[in-house]
Amino acid sequence: MISPVSKIAYCASRTCRFRKPIDVRALLEKGLDELGYRDRIGLVETECLISCFQGPSIMLLPGGKVFQVLSEERFTETLRGLISEPQLPTLPPPGEPRIEPDIPGIEHIDFFAKQRLIVLRNRGHIDAESIEEYIAHDGYLALYKALTAMTPEGVIEEVKLSGLRGRGGAGFPSGTKWEEARKYATFPKYVICNGDEGDPGAFMDRSLMESDPHAVLEGMMVCGYAIGARQGYIYVRAEYPLAIQMLRTAIDRARRKGFLGRNILGTGFDFDIDIYPGAGAFVCGESTALMFSIEGKRGMPRIKPPRSTESGLWGRPTCLNNVETFANIPQILLHGGAWFRSIGMEDSTGTKVFSLTGAVKNVGLVEVPMGTDLRTIIFEIGGGIRGNAHFKAVQLGGPSGGCLTEQHLHLPATFDTLQAAGAMMGSGGVVVMDDTSCMVDVARFFTQFSVDESCGKCVPCRVGLKVLLGMLEKIIVGRGEPSDLDRLERQAVHIAATSHCGLGQAAPNPVLSTLRYFRHEYEAHVREKRCPALVCTDLIRFEVDAEACKRCGVCAKVCPVEAISWRKKEPAVLNRDKCIRCKACIRACKFKAIH
């Protein structure tokens, strides 16, 4: 029996396990055994098949059709049908029959169709632990091209031509950085890959390191060739054990194949890469603090000049780029800088991976050309807001970013437009919020994060942020005064203007942007002592609105302390003496009758 299916990829991520506790691997092994395909059809464990919203899923290769595993029953029979005739996308999905007659291919689903995959192109398609599969997908071809057909200057020219800007947040032109690092004739030089992804809600670097580690390695090697370095380090946060394991495996395989080590591809180029697990400090994502951390010192940003390209790790010229930046490099070299420049916008070229989280229907990683507007990302790719709630705000760029409103949804996502609007590209975290989020509380959350993660070096960040947090907490518990808003703003501006490193300078962004676009919510907190989103517990009166109450009694059922009494056909009555302000009733009430 010959099957047109050669491999089946399945998602082994926790996200899918949580959605439905099915051991897909065991199921597939059992099924293939029974069908007699055990030796002929390979199983590929991947971290994600990009469609987290319909997991657990499997993908048949070649072809790339994704199917959802809904139940363990009759799996083998369904599988038999699938692997014998996979070309026909009209088969019923595994498990229970679906209503739709056609299961659409990946190209027909908005979530996938609107994406443009450069960085994530291999994800889910190859086995991250197999260097052969990477090579089969043009892997290490860019390195070969660079080493055999290009001078280091030529490589830098190509990167400059591509207009690639650093994906770590600041958007510094990578080609310029490389040129700078090449300029200094101090040896040894170092290449560092910054995998200390710490923004809440951002996970594109982890995904990249886990699913396509060789692309990162290849980018680093090309960089090493371009600037004249022979040693690279990958700084990965220790909270990413799988990424570290995948990178270790990849480095090991690459060494064995001769892509790392001495005399690479017989060209006389030497390069090696080591991994440094970080110890869990957010500030170590800042380049100079990261280098101190590798040196074994306390992770604190240092003064500049000198720039790292002149005197970085151990006082040597060092070129530090983000994981995603390096992953772009092989494609740029293969297809040319002009090709890359043709994607995206004038000053922000190529694609950007966003990690779309929050109140959207389709949560996951999204790679789109730069300049794609936020509405496309959130409503077309993301599928809109979950439940029956309304879009309220989108938080871009993690704790250093800002919140934008509906009026900004037309904005093309580029470095400069987002910056101008008061947010930032950052590492690419997109947190979508619906009207159950209180913007004051959101600002407090991110400020709390920054307070916890401040290294403590400079006064405005160490003390100023703490003071800022104190002001927000005061507002949240209802002790805010109208004059507090101006003081809050002045204080935030002061921190941004005088802090030492990017963390401190950007830390007040959540406060500043929410103050700018949601000042009315602050006003409600301060003047009316009311939280419009019913989040700030101290500002909720816990009263049942008898008019809005539909007398359903759900609130009385969910109340854990029996503070709500309800009789049929009568509005519920809330006894505030018993109430512990847990908000269970507010969440349960579909008619927003409790506030």
Residues near other proteins (CB under 8 A) are: 281, 283, 298, 300, 303-305, 451-460, 462-464, 466-467, 470, 487, 490-491, 494, 497-500
Which residues does residue 349 pair with via DSSP β-bridges, in sequence order? Answer: 344
Q: Considering only the C-alpha atoms of the chain, give the largest distance between any 2 of them, rounded to a whole number of Å.
A: 86
Dihedral sign (CA 195, 199, 204, 210): positive
- Whole-number minimum distance, CB 237 to other proteins, in Å? 15
Is the CB of 196 or the CB of 212 nearer to other proteins? 196
3-state secondary structure of 509: helix
CB of 403 to other proteins, least distance (A): 23
Q: Which is nearer to other proteins, 493 or 546 (CB)?
A: 493
Q: DSSP for 385-410, please give it.
A: BSTT--EEEEEESGGGSEEE-GGGTT
Find the shortest distance in angstroms from Cβ 468 to other proteins: 10
Whether the Cβ atoms of residue 448 and residue 465 lie closer than 8 Å to each other: no
Q: How far is the CB of 311 from other proteins (least distance, A)?
A: 11
- Three-class DSSP labels, 76-109: HHHHHHHHHCCCCCCCCCCCCCCCCCCCCCHHHC
- Residues paired with residue 42 on neighbouring β-strands, in sequence order: 7
Nearer to other proteins, 38 or 494 (CB): 494
Between 221 and 455, CB nearer to other proteins: 455
Which residue, chain included where needed, has tokens 């071809």? 141
- Specify the residue, 135 or 477, whose C-beta has the smaller distance to other proteins: 477
Provide the minimum distance between the beta carbon of 465 and other proteins in the complex, in angstroms, as a whole number: 8
CB of 84 or CB of 498, closer to other proteins: 498
Residue 36 or 305 with smaller CB distance to other proteins: 305
Give the residue from 90, 93, 85 showing the smallest Cα distance to 1: 85
Q: In the complex, what is the shortest distance from the CB of residue 292 to other proteins, in angstroms, rounded to a whole number?
A: 11
Q: Which of 440, 446, 449, 536 is nearest to 488 (CA)?
A: 440
- Minimal distance in Å, beta carbon 305 to other proteins? 6
- Judged by CB, which is closer to other proteins: 80, or 516? 516
Residue with tokens 């090493």: 224
Long-range Cβ contact pairs of 367-371 (< 8 A, separation 24 or more): 367/115, 367/116, 367/117, 367/118, 367/119, 367/120, 368/114, 368/115, 368/116, 368/413, 369/116, 369/343, 369/344, 370/343, 370/344, 370/345, 370/412, 370/413, 370/414, 371/344, 371/345, 371/412, 371/413, 371/414
In the bound complex, what is the minimum distance in angstroms from residue 301's beta carbon to other proteins? 9
